[in-house]
Amino acid sequence: MRDHEEIATKQSQLQTYIVHIKEPEGGPDFSKSEDLETWYKSFLPATSTTSNSQQRLVYSYRNVLTGFAAKLTQEEVKAMEEKDGFVLAWPEKAYHFQITHSPAFLGLHQNSGFWNGSNYGKGVIIAVVDSGISSHHPSFSDEGMPPPPAKWKGKCAFNGTICNNKIISATNFVESLPPTEDFIHGTPVASIAAGNFVEDAGDLFGNAKGTAAGMAPHAHLAIYKACGELGCTCSAILAAIDAAIEDGVDVLSISLAADHSDPFYVDEITIGAFAATRKGIFVSTPAGNEGPKSPSLSNGAPWVLTVGASTIDRSIRTTAKLGNGDILMGNHFSS
């Protein structure tokens, strides 16, 4: 009896689903966002009032897929399957963070060679889908930065208070607050991708002295906050990718991964990356922090660059003195 009650309760509980639908052939023009949203709402339960329908619809997607994210019960999803145009629905899952000496380690030099010849990424717009950004960090100074390219369609939310010619866009998809953070994850990710040159950077136990810089220090940054302190929801990640495509970015940096790999057709980053790639956008994703075990690779779709670090050339050394006087050398991560 209790098992039946638990099943019934689960079937009636609201949770966020990603709903993929098929656009009708020869159907209405959905060039206006409000028309597209109205059509999406027609798939929601008929018992929903207008206000409830608005609350149920979480995100409307235009570029990453034809579909939406909505709060639904299992029973409502089952009923939706009978509607003309329905393709697939699946419950969203959580994604997790995966995380400046890299230029020198890769043999890039500031005044000569490939790095200099590429103009340090000048004119390129890199979208970072992550936990926001600490805009006051010196890596995000716009010194020497031109205005964004004319093709740029993005905007800076919250009265533009955190934007400049380096951070040209900042949008939040998780809460009605500025897309800022306190160095959780998005700030280092953005600075590694496109942090400006910062001379006399501080050192840590003799490491990282000198000039800090990202891989494309003269590129523009477009920030899409899809994650909070506890992680990320796939519906927000899809919405962020959808907006980045619409805004006209050149590169998508997504340093996020799920706990396990799903088939491509229900993997949100894979779906969003495919839509971005079709628009000519380069997508970079992490191989993940899991392993070593099989299978532990994340983001393995053939249309993304899957990045994994095999080695580094520096370490923070420490010693441990044993009771018998022996001294052991090793690495440590904090002091």
Per the structure, the complete domain to which residue 35 belongs is given by 2-91
User: How high is the pLDDT of residue 151?
Assistant: 94
Judge whether 175 lies within some domain: yes
Count the alpha carbons within 13 Å of 285 in the hemisphere toward its beta carbon: 30
Judge whether 171 lies within some domain: yes
- Does 235 lie in the same domain as 132? yes
Count of structural domains, the chain: 2
- Does 18 lie in the same domain as 47? yes
Cα(219)–Cα(294) distance, rounded to whole angstroms? 37
Name the CA dihedral angle for 83, 85, 90, 92, rounded to a multiple of 10 degrees. Answer: -110
Judge whether 320 lies within some domain: no
Judge whether 312 lies within some domain: no
User: How high is the pLDDT of residue 334?
Assistant: 52
Cα(1)–Cα(280) distance, rounded to whole angstroms? 55
Position 175: which residue type? E
Q: Categorise residue 288: left if φ over 0, alpha if ψ from -120 to 50, beta otherwise.
A: left
- Does 116 lie in the same domain as 78? no
**CATH code, 15:** 3.30.70.80
pLDDT higher than 50, residue 120: yes
- Does 82 lie in the same domain as 110? no
User: How high is the pLDDT of residue 206?
Assistant: 60
Judge whether 323 lies within some domain: no
Model confidence pLDDT, tens digit, residues 270-283: 999 999 999 999 99
- Does 75 lie in the same domain as 109? no
Identify the three-state secondary structure at position 144: coil
47 or 298: which carries more pLDDT confidence?
Answer: 298
User: How high is the pLDDT of residue 335?
Assistant: 43
131 or 183: which carries more pLDDT confidence?
Answer: 131
* Residue 252 contacts residue 127 (beta carbons within 8 Å): yes
User: How high is the pLDDT of residue 4?
Assistant: 47
Cα(179)–Cα(235) distance, rounded to whole angstroms? 17
- Does 185 lie in the same domain as 71? no
- Does 273 lie in the same domain as 125? yes
**CATH code, 250:** 3.40.50.200
User: How high is the pLDDT of residue 97?
Assistant: 77
Position 288: which residue type? G
User: How high is the pLDDT of residue 261?
Assistant: 79
Of the three residues 70, 91, 112, the one that is the final residue of a domain is 91
Of the three residues 26, 57, 91, the one that is the final residue of a domain is 91
Mean pLDDT taken over the chain: 83
- Does 286 lie in the same domain as 203? yes
Judge whether 189 lies within some domain: yes
- Does 207 lie in the same domain as 277? yes
Burial of 32 (0-12, 13-18, 19+ CB in 10 A): exposed
For residue 152, give Cα distances in angstroms to 99, 123, 189: 28, 11, 22
Tokens in use for 198? Answer: 């910062």
User: How high is the pLDDT of residue 277?
Assistant: 97
Nearest CA to 101 among 285, 316, 312, 254?
312
- Does 108 lie in the same domain as 53? no
- Does 280 lie in the same domain as 196? yes
Tokens 């079709």 belong to residue: 278
Q: What is the mean pLDDT of residues 298-327?
A: 79
Task: State in Å, rounded, how far the first CA of the chain is from the last one.
Answer: 56
Of the three residues 91, 119, 150, the one that is the final residue of a domain is 91
User: How high is the pLDDT of residue 86?
Assistant: 95
- Does 136 lie in the same domain as 17? no
Tokens 């010849």 belong to residue: 117
Judge whether 329 lies within some domain: no
pLDDT higher than 80, residue 325: yes
